[in-house]
Structures are given as structure tokens and as C-alpha cells.
Amino acid sequence: MRRPGGWWRVKSTPEKVETYTRWSFHLFGVIEVFALGVTAYGRTGAGLATALFLLVTAHAAVSMLVSSRALDWTLGRRPQPVRLMWTLVVVSAVVSATAVVIAERGPAGEVETAAGSVYGGVLCFAAGVITLGVSGRRRMVAVVGGFAVGAGLLTFPLEMPLLASVVLAGLVMVTGGFLAITSIFSLWLLNAVYALDEARETRARLAVAEERLRFGRDLHDVMGRNLAVIALKSELAVQLSRRGRPEAVEQMIEVQRIAQESQREVRDVVRGYREAALEVELAGARGVLSAAGIVAEIDGETAGLPPEVQSALGWVVREATTNVLRHGDAKKVAVTVRMSEGRVVLTVENDGVAETTGDGPPTGSGGSGLSGLRERLSAVAGTLEAGPVGRGVFRLTAEVPLPAAAGSALEAAS
């Protein structure tokens, strides 16, 4: 069973910001219902108050739907909700006109105040919501200005003074403009978060591509020259052999030597590509995590460790860092290297484990990444333990025994 709040923890940072933004827009509808609909019960009779409440509730529901579809359109998931926006315009006009009729023909007194609040309020909220579905500064200003002008024109049946109509139109302009600016800023912030997340992924892909290019360049440098020499000497050996010259044997021996040398150099290149130095991996993990906005705390001494131990633990750091970036939403990662009774203990702990029930990334013994690490550690008689150790905390611990000579030297140095 998923723990309370687990649905939130499994979301990425952009998804969390999107959820927060979406429900902030829905909160506008809730505020509209309480500020305009519920307060009507304290200003007029139950019958008229209920009518105003139902009108405001219907308008708020349409506004919520428009804001949600407009948000999806901004993120490129749906077409522009043109029909829904026109529907909101019509509903706003109907609710405002009905409020005018209630204020004009209803009982005198506070009903005019209640109807007037509904009349101006729905136009303000509608202006702020519809700007979510349009692009361009001029169109947004035109939307808010159109609602302000409409608010002024609809006051003529009430025979309101011209100054009062202008003030009401200005109020709709200011309030609707404020809601529009708030909504547009929220959308801008959401798009910026998604753009930053995409840039981080692009940076990671570029790093992988750069490493592949480096590997290909190293292979080309090693093999290109040797293969050219092999081809030249082989051709020379063929020519000498056709002429019956004994030097052909010497040329083929040289070809054999160069081929064996090429094999050794290729193995060195591949070994250097596959091996992971612990100190280098710790520095790389710090840089990658810092670039992702995660606080990285690195503690411990790596000097003097045997190359095979450094390589095994370096791969642990690399895999653990990758898992932190791919899964969960960590804010802090602590990496510790310590010596304990002839063993090197590497601990990687983060506070962003995704709590799932089987449909998410593995947090225990499963997963091909952890299996690969156990295979690498088993080659140096090491062990690996991984799993949650508290609420939202994931810890990975790798232990590798030190050779007798290296262990004695490190203990003496410490």
C-alpha cells in the first residue's frame, strides 16, 4: 500500500510545479464561489441568494475547465480551447445580465449589493482565466479591456451615473488585469521549470555523446596509424614473396608484432574507458549533483587505495549518482568513504527515494544496475546493500576488503 503523499513524491520537480499551478487556477474558482456565491446568503433572501450561488458555481466550474485546458494548450498537449473560451464569455455575459435583472427588479436594499458583487466579480475572474488561452501581449490586453468595456456597457440598464460606470469598468480592468498577470506569470514559471529540466537532460546526453566521441577518437588514433603500417608492410611482403626474396618473412614478422602491439593498445584504451577512478568519480558526482540543484556532501579519503578497489567503488558512485538523478527527487546526497577493520566502506545516502508499490524504480535488491554493481564488487570480494532506511531516505552501502599490504599501509598512514 502506498504511503500517504507517495503520489506526490514520485512526481518529478516539473510535474510538481505543474500540479501546483493547475490547482492554483482551480483555487480561483473556489475563491469565486465563496467570495460571490456564499456571501450572497448574508445579503439577501434565501431564494435570490440560491439563484446567485448557482449562477456563480456554474461560472466557476466553466472557468476551472477553461484554465485546465488552457494550461494543457500552453504545454503543447491539447489544441487551443477556442470553443471553451467563447463558452466562458457567453456564460459570463449570461450571469452578469441575470445579476443586472435581479438588481433591477429584485427587492430594494442589500440584494443590489449582492447582485452587483456577482456582476463585477464574474467578469474579473473570466478576464483573468481567458488570458490563459491566448498568446501575445496585445491579445491579453484586449481581453481584459473588452471585459472592462462590457462591464461599463451593461450598467446602462441600471441607470447608473456615468462616473459609477467608469469606476466599475476601471475596477474590472484593474482586478481582471491583476488576475491575468498572476496567471501568465505562473505559466511562465512553469514553462521555465520544464525548460530547465529539459536542458539538464540535454546536458547529460551531451556528456554521454562527448564521452563516446572521445572513445572513438582514441581508438582512431591508436588503430589508424598501426593499420596503415600493417597494410603497407603486408603489401611489401607480398611483393617480396612473389620475387622469392627472404626479406618477406621479416616483413610478416614485423606485421605480426605491430598487430600484437595494436591489440595491447586497444585493450589499454578499453580498460581506461571501463575503469572508474574513485576520486574522479567523486568529483564528477559532486559536479553533476550540484548542476541538478542537489546538495552533495563528500567525506572521506581515497588516496592509497588499490586500483581494483578504486575502480569497483568508482562504479558504485557512478551508478548511485545516476539513480539519484533518474529516480526520486533528492535535495541532499551524502557520500562517505571510510576504513573499517581492513575494509573500505562506501556509503551513498539521499533523501529523495520514490516510495512505490511495484510500479516504480527498484529500491531494494532488484534492478539491473544494482545487479551489475554486485557482480563488479564480487570480483574484489566486495558486498553491496541497498534499500530505504527511513521515511524518504535511501542508503547504498558497498564494502570491499583491502589486500593485506594495502590495508597495513593505510592503517599506518591514518
What pLDDT, on the 0 to 100 scale, is given for residue 239?
A: 87
Q: Rounded to 5 degrees, what angle do the CA atoms 175, 14, 196 make?
A: 100
Beta strands 295-300 and 343-350 are unpaired
Give the containing element (helix H, strand E) for 395.
strand 393-401
Question: pLDDT tens digit string along 305-350?
Answer: 888 888 888 888 888 887 887 766 778 899 999 987 788 999 999 8
Distances (CA, A) of 31 to 61, 87, 132, 270: 12, 21, 18, 64
Q: Which of 136, 107, 126 is nearest to 46 (CA)?
A: 107
Percentage of the chain with pLDDT > 90? 7
Q: Which of 132, 32, 35 is nearest to 84 (CA)?
A: 132
Distances (CA, A) of 332 to 211, 281, 294: 27, 18, 5
Which range is most confident: 154-163, 289-298, 312-321? 312-321
Question: pLDDT tens digit string along 116-139?
Answer: 778 778 888 888 888 888 888 888
User: Is residue 107 very low, low, confident or very high in pLDDT (cuts 50, 70, 90)?
Assistant: low
User: Is residue 221 very low, low, confident or very high in pLDDT (cuts 50, 70, 90)?
Assistant: low
Neighbours of 352 (CB within 10 A): 18
What pLDDT, on the 0 to 100 scale, is given for residue 335?
A: 92
Of 225-229, 246-250, 255-259, 397-401, the poorest mean pLDDT is in 225-229
**What's the full length of the chain, in residues?**
414
Neighbours of 165 (CB within 10 A): 17
Higher per-residue confidence, 111 vs 319: 319
Question: pLDDT tens digit string along 355-387?
Answer: 443 333 444 444 456 787 888 888 888 999 988
What are the cell numbers at 228?
Answer: 596503415
Give the containing element (helix H, strand E) for 254.
helix 247-274
What backbone torsions phi and psi does residue 252 show, to the nearest 5 degrees?
Answer: -70, -35
- Residue 167's Cα: distance from chain center in Å? 45
Of 53-57, 174-178, 214-218, the poorest mean pLDDT is in 214-218
How large is the angle between the packed helices 162-242 and 110-130, nearest 10 degrees? 20
What backbone torsions phi and psi does residue 364 show, to the nearest 5 degrees?
Answer: -120, -125
Higher per-residue confidence, 209 vs 234: 234
What pLDDT, on the 0 to 100 scale, is given for residue 155?
A: 67
Mean pLDDT of all residues in the chain?
A: 78
Of 13-27, 165-179, 279-293, the poorest mean pLDDT is in 279-293
What pLDDT, on the 0 to 100 scale, is given for residue 356?
A: 41
- The helix, strand and coil proportions of the chain, stated in percent and rounded to the nearest 5, come to 70, 10, 20
Residue that has been written with the C-alpha cell 574507458 in this structure: 273
Question: pLDDT tens digit string along 51-77?
Answer: 888 988 998 999 999 999 999 898 888
Task: Please check the confidence at residue 410 and state whether its pLDDT lies above 70.
Answer: no
> Which stretches within 106-161 are classed as H helix?
110-130, 137-153
Residue ranges of E strands in 236-318: 295-300
Q: Cβ distance 8 to 20 under 8 Å?
A: no
What pLDDT, on the 0 to 100 scale, is given for residue 347?
A: 93
Residue 343 three-state SS: strand
